[in-house]
């Protein structure tokens, strides 16, 4: 769901909203990021937003500053995005996924969902959590966007902490792809399964 110009609207509205930012938009995502980073109380950053932050030290500083102001952040990188944020390589991230997720969480003062085989959920000064759900069928276009949106939706609908909201969403997202099937799962099918399970269907 795209809302052009929304982030530049009423500060009170932005400051009371759970926002998911970065699922598409390319470089255009850079423009609303400073205001969202300054105002949104619950912010999920994915894809293009993560790449913008990795390339701009001033945006990264705004991410880090959020925790001290009582604003919660969840980052949802895949290994390459995590490597960019850590100024490292994908090979190094994959060689020790727990360490990479913990380091990124510590640097950004945020919850980190490092996607991949055994998705890692890490937070500063917390024991990382590894999801046992999911399989290779999730390695397709759009499924990461679905995860970011699902985290945001679950978080907005509850009083859960960032790490608990992220953990629940990651487990549900992975379970929706089970049992593993031949080939990749379509993002639309994943959304439908998540919706049905959330309703008890």
Q: What is the pLDDT of residues 83-133, one digit of tens each?
A: 999 999 999 999 999 999 999 999 999 999 999 999 999 999 899 999 999
* Residue 183 banded pLDDT, cuts 50, 70, 90: confident
Residue by residue, DSSP assigns the chain as ---TTGGGS-HHHHTT-EEEE-SS-GGGGGTTHHHHHHH-SEEEE-HHHHHHHHH-HHHHHHHHHHHHTT-EEEE---HHHHHHHHTS-HHHHHHTHHHHHHHHHHHHTSEEEE-STT-EEE-TTS--EE-----GGG-STTHHHHHHHHHHHHHHTS---HHHHHHHHHHHHHHTTPSP-SSPPPHHHHHHHHHHHHTT-
Rg of the chain over CA atoms, in angstroms? 16
How confident is residue 154, by pLDDT bands cut at 50, 70 and 90?
very high
pLDDT at residue 201 greater than cutoff 70: no
Compute the mean pLDDT over every residue in the chain, rounded to the nearest whole number.
94
The CA-atom distances, in angstroms, between 150 and each of 123, 142, 179 are 19, 12, 20
Q: What is the mean pLDDT of residues 123-150?
A: 95
CB 110 within 8 A of CB 74: yes
Dihedral angle computed from the Cα positions of residues 95, 74, 121 and 169, in that order, rounded to the nearest 10 degrees:
-130
4 pLDDT more than 80: no
pLDDT at position 1 over 70: no
Sorted by where each begins, the domain ranges of the chain are: 134-201
Rounded CA separation 51/77 (Å): 9
Torsion sign across C-alpha atoms 53, 56, 57, 63: negative
Question: Sorting pLDDT into bands at 50, 70 and 90, what band is 8?
Answer: confident
Model pTM score = 0.95
Residue 6 CA to residue 124 CA, distance in Å, equals 31
Mean pLDDT within 149-171? 97
Length of the chain: 201
Interval 50-78: pLDDT, tens: 999 999 999 999 999 999 999 999 999 99
pLDDT, tens digit, 9 for 90 and up, residues 22-33: 877 778 899 999
């Amino acid at each position: 769901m795209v809302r052009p110009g929304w982030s530049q609207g009423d500060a009170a509205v932005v400051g009371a909203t759970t926002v998911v930012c970065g699922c598409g938009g390319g470089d255009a995502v850079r423009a609303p990021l400073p205001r969202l980073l300054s105002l949104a109380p619950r912010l999920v950053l994915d894809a293009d937003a993560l790449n913008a932050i990795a390339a701009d030290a001033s945006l990264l500083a705004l991410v880090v500053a959020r925790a001290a102001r009582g604003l919660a952040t969840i980052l949802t990188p895949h290994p390459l995005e995590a490597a960019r944020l850590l100024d490292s390589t994908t090979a190094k991230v994959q060689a020790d996924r727990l360490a990479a997720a913990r380091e990124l969480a510590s640097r950004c003062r945020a919850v980190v969902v490092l996607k991949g085989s055994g998705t890692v959920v890490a937070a500063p000064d917390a024991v990382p959590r590894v999801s046992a759900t999911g399989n290779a069928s999730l390695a397709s276009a759009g499924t990461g966007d679905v995860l970011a949106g699902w985290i945001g939706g679950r978080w907005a609908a509850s009083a859960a902490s960032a790490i608990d909201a992220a953990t629940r969403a990651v487990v549900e997202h992975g379970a929706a792809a089970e049992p593993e099937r031949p080939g990749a799962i379509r993002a639309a099918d994943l959304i439908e399964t998540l919706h049905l399970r959330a309703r008890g269907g």
